[in-house]
Amino acid sequence: MRIRHTLGAAAGAALLVLALPTSAGAAEGSFTYKYRSQDRAMLSGKLVDPPSEQCITLDEADDPKEVPPAHSPYNGTDETATVFEQPGCEGDSFDLEAGAQGSAKLEVRSVVFHD
């Protein structure tokens, strides 16, 4: 009898875990952008399911003295992306709503996602 209760409790706990949202605290979807490599080739970067309410400095554009900023951001997430012209979410900023595309003139070095 105890085994049946134990198995029932374990099954119930497993179902509860499966029912919990897996992306709590994260924007769902992808944020893409273009950047130039050190040899000046045009490349694309991507953040997949990025964390919410957390500043993300783009690795490819993190040093204003060494590399040009990223540009042409596309917010394919379900949250607003605020993009910044400087690392560390500093400097001028611009909000990209979910599904919005920024132009090649929109320079990006960091981003934060929020509702």
Q: Domain spanning 29-114 has what CATH number?
A: 2.60.20.10
d(CA 72, CA 42): 12
- Residue length of the chain: 115
Mean per-residue pLDDT, 24-53: 94
Mean pLDDT of 33-58: 96
Query: Which residue matches tokens 């957390």?
Result: 54
- Tell how far CA 6 is from the center of its chain: 41
Q: What is the pLDDT of residue 24?
A: 55
- Sorted by where each begins, the domain ranges of the chain are 29-114
pLDDT digits (tens, 9 = 90+) for 52-73: 999 999 999 999 999 999 999 9
Tell me the three state secondary structure of residue 56: strand
Give how far Cα 29 sits from Cα of 10, 16, 17, 26, 71, Å: 33, 25, 22, 9, 19
Q: Dihedral through CA 62, CA 96, CA 106, CA 32, nearest 10?
A: 60
